Amino acid sequence: MAEINIKIEGHDYKVDSSLTVLEAARVCGYNIPSLCSYGHNENNIASCRVCLVEVKGARGLVASCAYPVNEGMEITISSLKAVEARRASVELILSNHNKNCQQCRKNGNCELLNVAITVGAREDKYQGAYSKNTYEDLGDTLVRDTSKCILCGRCVVRCKEAQGIGVLGLEKRGFNTILAPAQNKSFKDVPCINCGQCVNVCPTGALMEKDEIWRVDEAIRQGKKVIVQTAPAVRATIAEEFGHLIGTKNEAGRLVAALHRLGFYRVFDTDYAADLTIMEEAHEFLHRFTTDGVLPMFTSCSPGWVNYMEFYHSDLIPHVSSCKSPHQMMGAIIKSYYAEKHNLDKNDIFVVSVMPCICKKGEKERHYVDGVKDVDAVLTVREIARMIKRNGINWNKLPYEDFDNDLLHAASGAGHIFGVSGGVMEAALRTAYHALTNKEYEGIKFEQVRGLKNTREASININGTVVNVAVVSGMANAKPLLDAVREGKSPYHFIEFMGCPGGCINGGGQPYVKPALLPNEELNILDTYLAKRASVLYNEDDKNSLRQSHNNPDIIALYNDYLGEPNSHKAHHLLHVQGYNKDRARFK
């Protein structure tokens, strides 16, 4: 786009012609408050009226989130008329808002509170009645509190644009308007894939993950062997919860130190189980590929994607890998192999997963081995950060400690990159290449499947055999590929699906990324944070001397001592699902 000349507060600036006034102001060093807009061209519906400014020549104040810049535009943010109008808009929103801020888990990340302070909102300037309250926490993942909803519509747009679903909408009218699934149903009674993207964009505490800290506290109190594991993407983001800039170096060592101090019996790395997942998934793919099995094969490690497939494309279930996700595999191995080696009763073990994902809270309720759950509790990155702060642990003074090394320790670079869209595919290709050629892929990296485009494709030539692969994140982008498979027109052999755009680095349980609350971040366009987080994981892969799952000595030992070989009967019993739920399609 071409650059144009504008004036803000009488000063001259050059900005991209594609920007709105709100975005142009941020680029030029001004923060105009806003509540309904989110990111670049997402939900600029001007519903909250909090971003009003004066533009010379306009008939009245304009909503800067929806007003495009043009050549020669003169913008005034600080006029008394604009300041008073912004304050009045916020005060009207507050008149219909449940202000139990001290008890709200969004406190510290609440955009409404931040904006109220910014505009100087006066206490109880307008008196109103809260919208008819709906508090809903019947499912395993999401909590909805309409008394805190400001009807900004961000969640509605994110659900539709990122996932192509549109589960959420505005119900009823006037003062009774609420944000809800159709007919104000529970999340558990609608085809919501529980990805948590709606939580990520919600500016208040109206949508939150279901808290499970109490489960962990209770297990520790009961004297259980509480074992915690941390997902690949967590190391790239946890420091954000303690004030560090996005893209901070790998902070797994400090996280391990914090978890030790929280009283966990053992602290393990889910990256180990990511390597295990690759061993199972890559060999499952190779078996299908070499025996004319059902192709293309779909990955299965994203529970949001699995939910989407069951709800909307259940006829394609035969294409989905039967592998559990890494944290579920880890839980199954802890309660079998690890328990046997250490003479522990599996019923006395309580497995906690620290995940970037809200959906894994529901996933853990689906998978049992011989009547015992693989994983007992799932904490998001935000929840584990709250535990660390609650216990008075100073993050910046923590040492760097290693994961516990009794049986389940080593992880390859392939395991690290699981947290990025395309990482599962790249890790699988490294191992599949070796299995087909008995040689390592010289370049190590498969650059063709890297990047942050929501849909990527590549053709990999392995000793004359061409393997066509695709990588997709965000379910709105999955539908065209799935339709092609259904119609028999898909050219692919293997497709990686991730429920959240960008993969786990953008999971529904990750630290909030909100421009208004991150004044030190250079985030002119919000999507740049994904690249910063991804770079942490790719850098760890680059530095790791062990970069292929099949070369992981701890994984080799696991197969030699316990599982036999990939896809063995024992491996299937512990590490694979027994089937997917076709009946969920009835919700459509």
CB-based contact 115:516 (threshold 8 Å) = yes
Q: Where in the chain is the domain with CATH 3.40.950.10?
A: 214-587
- What is the reported pLDDT for 524? 47
354 bridge partner residues: 230, 379
Beta bridge partners of 63: 52
Q: Cα–Cα distance between 133 and 1 in angstroms, integer?
A: 46
Whole-angstrom Cα distance, residue 99 to residue 587? 35
Report whether CATH 3.10.20.740 matches the domain 3-94: yes
CA–CA–CA angle 496, 500, 506 (5° rounding)? 115
CA 476 to chain centre: 16
Which DSSP category does 402 fall into? P
- Report the SS3 class of residue 297: strand
- Residues contacting residue 219 through CB under 8 Å, at least 6 positions apart: 226, 350, 352, 376, 377
Question: 124 - beta bridge partners?
Answer: none
User: How far is residue 214's CA from residue 218's CA, in Å, rounded to a whole number?
Assistant: 6
Q: What is the pLDDT of residue 523?
A: 46
The pLDDT score that the predictor gives to residue 23 is 87
Rg of the chain over Cα atoms, rounded to whole angstroms, equals 25
| CATH 3.30.70.20 placement within the chain | 130-209
Q: Give residue 513's identity as a one-letter amino acid code.
A: V
Spatial CB neighbours of 370, under 8 Å, sequence gap ≥ 6: none
B/e letters for 180-196, b = 16+ CB within 10 Å, e = fewer, are: bbeeebbbbebbbbbbb
In this structure, CATH architecture of domain 214-587:
3-Layer(aba) Sandwich (3.40)
pTM of the model: 0.94
What pLDDT, on a 0 to 100 scale, did the predictor assign at position 442? 86
CATH 3.30.70.20 fits 130-209, yes or no: yes
H or E, element range at 284: helix 270-290
Termini Cα distance of the chain: 41
The pLDDT, as a whole number, for residue 356 is 97
Measured CA to CA, the distance from residue 140 to residue 138 in angstroms comes to 7
- Give mean pLDDT in consecutive 10-residue pieces for the chain, a chain of 588 residues: 91 93 90 82 78 94 94 96 96 90 92 94 78 79 93 93 93 85 91 95 95 97 97 96 90 97 97 96 95 96 96 96 97 97 97 97 94 97 97 97 87 93 95 92 90 92 91 96 96 97 95 73 62 94 93 95 96 94 69
Ranges for all domains in the chain classified under CATH 3.10.20.740: 3-94
